[in-house]
Chain A
Amino acid sequence: MAGIAAASEGAAPARASTPAVVHRRVSAAAVLVWGLIATGVLAMAVPLVMTAYISLFRDAVVVFPPSGYSVSWYARILEFPRFGDALGTSLRIAAMATLGSLALGIPASLALVRYRFLGRGLLNVLLLSPLTVPGVVIGLSIYVLVVETEIATEVPLIGSDLVLVLAHLLITVPWVIRLCVANLVGLDRSVEEAAANLGARPWSVLWRVTLPMMRQGIVAAALFAFIVSFENIEMTLFLIAPGQTTLPISVLQYLEYKVDPLVAAVVMVQTLVIAGLLLLLDRYVKLSRIV
């Protein structure tokens, strides 16, 4: 009896200690997880914070610690038309590419989700394939085709808006299709069927029921199309001409020679404008739900 009592007494602390060990191991894991989270957040945040910081340096050369701070670089941006012109080109191309990619991508995603036809799977792969081809390869191949067309027709095309927009459509349409297809698959089809049963014609079902239900998907698609076009460097590099440069490329060309607070200020203005637009958009459509 005594032996059993002693054994059970001895066992009790052992049993109690198991959760403590688990707890200690869990907290080590938790420290590791929080370390990973902190590293990841730093990796994403440091370059942006640093750029903002450099844009406030007073000296034209980047040295730490700076001799002083000033916001005068922001005022001087306008003295450098290369950035202003490039921003204009970027916005124009991105806006046209966004509208065009919605016009091409929304009907295509409707066909892919709402219709059954021969070669549907193949077309799905084909339409998303520009996402898997490296940007430099797309850029070089379009350039080569444009040069051949120029030789055949004697119409100057390199650096024209037409070529840039068509090329940007190629990389924005797949994003529109991807986001709209995901959105359409999640929509309840019975609402459209009810509208049709109540006598709505196919066109008015599309216009009054399907498209309004797709609103979130369309906004997300437009947003992504705009980003993809606006920040593209790899493909666009091959298609620009002197005097027709996009903002990321003119910043890149500047950075190949020097880093200074001016270029940091240019980039910060761009960032702040986009952040403002995003926050505005977030009031209408929850970005956290659509991207």
Chain B
Amino acid sequence: MSRPSKRRTTGLTAGLLIGPATFLVMGALVTPLLLLARYSLNRYDRTNFMVEALTPENYLRFFYDPFYTGVLWTTLWIALVTTVLCLVLGFPIAYRLARSQSRWKSVGVLLVILPLFIGSTVRALGWMGVLGRGGLVDSTVAALSPGSSFPLLYTPFAVVVGILSINLPYMVLTLQSVIEGIDARVEEAADSLGADPSRRFWHVVLPLALPGLATGGVLVFILAMNAYATPLLLGGARFQMMAPMLFREYAVNNNWPFAAAIAFILMVTTLTLTAASSAFVQRRYKAA
């Protein structure tokens, strides 16, 4: 078999192997997104719902109305706060799990994996019981000082706590696998060269784990920007984030062109921020 024909057969095999998956992504992601982009330029009207047009008015309406830009800001800061909390709370747990030699390690990992299998509604339900009116915190406060109430449900705090508890396992698992990839002997070397634990953390462990922190951070940031059930159930009717707002425009107001515009604003914001943060980390990593 001559070389070019062999190359052609491997190319054909590779094409057959990867073709179906590519076809799926083109058909179920790329094509629908192109259609949605076209919809976002259409006009909405109360009687006909959607009128074919070529207008930027849906995007302009979003950026000129302080209500909608406010929702975008709320979504961004909730996502940022929960991502930072996930990093701060996830790292110590991931480190303990990764460096553990104990036979309980697999039990610990299993306990982190388990919540991943349980939908976000379950976590929301639990927090509703803790934070709601007549819930655990509220009734404890009422029992300690009669007459007062302390409902935390339907506040941004409840939403942050809810998203945190859903995203934290993803962060712990990502970081755990990254830390396990860091040779423990590097840390022992730092120890034997006289670095104290905090120096060892800031100058050895953290720089080596930085790409993993970026991966985990991007993952939980996307999950938080995308959050639907948690803001809906824990934030209440007056608290708005992008995903529930998009669904309401589609399902309640039947305004598909505007829902399409919100979809693209949400997607472009998420992608821009994640790309920027990966680029930043990559540059830092090369410099270090």
Q: How far is the CA of A10 from the CA of B249 in the complex (A)?
A: 77
Question: Which residues on B sit within 8 Å (CB–CB) of A143?
Answer: 250
Most B CB within 10 A of own CB, among A47, A123, A177, A234:
A47
Question: Which residues on A sit within 8 Å (CB–CB) of B207?
Answer: none
Query: Is the C-beta of A213 less than 8 angstroms from some C-beta in chain B?
Result: no
A104 to chain B, nearest CB (A): 4
Stretch at the interface among B55-63, B64-72, B128-136, B279-287: B128-136
Q: A123-B22, A278-B117 are in contact. Are A166 and B110 (CB under 8 A)?
A: no
Closest B residue by C-beta to A228: B116
Contact A137 B20 (CB under 8 A): no
Contact A255 B125 (CB under 8 A): yes
Closest B residue by C-beta to A142: B32
Q: How far is the CA of A170 from the CA of B116 in the complex (A)?
A: 19
Q: How far is the CA of A159 from the CA of B168 in the complex (A)?
A: 32
Query: Is the C-beta of B124 less than 8 angstroms from some C-beta in chain A?
Result: yes
Q: Which residues 18-46 of B have a CB within 8 angstroms of A?
A: 18, 20-22, 24-25, 28-29, 31-33, 35-36, 39
Stretch at the interface among A72-80, A128-136, A192-200: A128-136
Q: How far is the CA of A111 from the CA of B138 in the complex (A)?
A: 57
Question: Which residues on A sit within 8 Å (CB–CB) of B266?
Answer: 134, 136-137
Query: Is the C-beta of A96 less than 8 angstroms from some C-beta in chain B?
Result: no
Contact A136 B246 (CB under 8 A): yes
Per-residue interface assignment for chain B, residues 237 to 271, with 1 indicating a CB less than 8 Å from any chain A CB and 0 otherwise? 00000110011001000001001100110110011
Assign chain B's interface to a size class: 35 or more
Question: Which residues on A sit within 8 Å (CB–CB) of B120?
Answer: 231, 233, 248
Closest B residue by C-beta to A134: B226
A90 to chain B, nearest CB (A): 10
Q: Which residues 55-93 of B have a CB within 8 angstroms of A?
A: 88-90, 92-93
Per-residue interface assignment for chain A, residues 18 to 58, with 1 indicating a CB less than 8 Å from any chain B CB and 0 otherwise? 00001001100100010011011101111111110110000
Q: How far is the CA of A291 from the CA of B169 in the complex (A)?
A: 11
Contact B18 A107 (CB under 8 A): yes
A163 to chain B, nearest CB (A): 10
A249 to chain B, nearest CB (A): 9
Q: A48-B118, A129-B29, A169-B28 are in contact. Are A256 and B233 (CB under 8 A)?
A: yes
**The one of A108, A129, A135 that contacts B18, using a Cβ cutoff of 8 Å:** A108
Question: Which residues on B sit within 8 Å (CB–CB) of A142?
Answer: 28, 32
| A contact residues, total (Cβ < 8 Å) | 90
**The one of B25, B164, B229 that contacts A43, using a Cβ cutoff of 8 Å:** B164
Question: Which residues on A sit within 8 Å (CB–CB) of B24?
Answer: 104, 166, 169-170, 173
List of 5 A-B pairs having minimum Cβ-Cβ separation, nearest first: A47-B126, A141-B32, A40-B89, A50-B126, A111-B17
| Chain A interface (Cβ < 8 Å from any Cβ of B) | 22, 25-26, 29, 33, 36-37, 39-41, 43-51, 53-54, 62-65, 103-105, 107-108, 110-112, 115, 117-118, 123, 126-127, 129-138, 140-145, 148, 166-167, 169-170, 173, 177, 227, 230-231, 233-234, 237-238, 247-248, 251-252, 255-256, 259, 263-264, 267, 270-271, 274-275, 278-279, 282, 286-288, 291
| Chain B interface (Cβ < 8 Å from any Cβ of A) | 10-11, 13-18, 20-22, 24-25, 28-29, 31-33, 35-36, 39, 88-90, 92-93, 96, 105-106, 109-130, 132, 134-136, 138-140, 161-162, 164-165, 168-169, 172-173, 177, 196-198, 222, 225-226, 228-229, 232-233, 242-243, 246-247, 250, 256, 259-260, 263-264, 266-267, 270-271, 274
Please name 8 further chain A to chain B contacts, defined as beta carbons within 8 Å, in addition to the given A117-B11, A238-B250, A288-B106, sorted by A numbering.
A43-B161, A107-B21, A127-B18, A132-B274, A134-B222, A136-B266, A144-B39, A145-B32
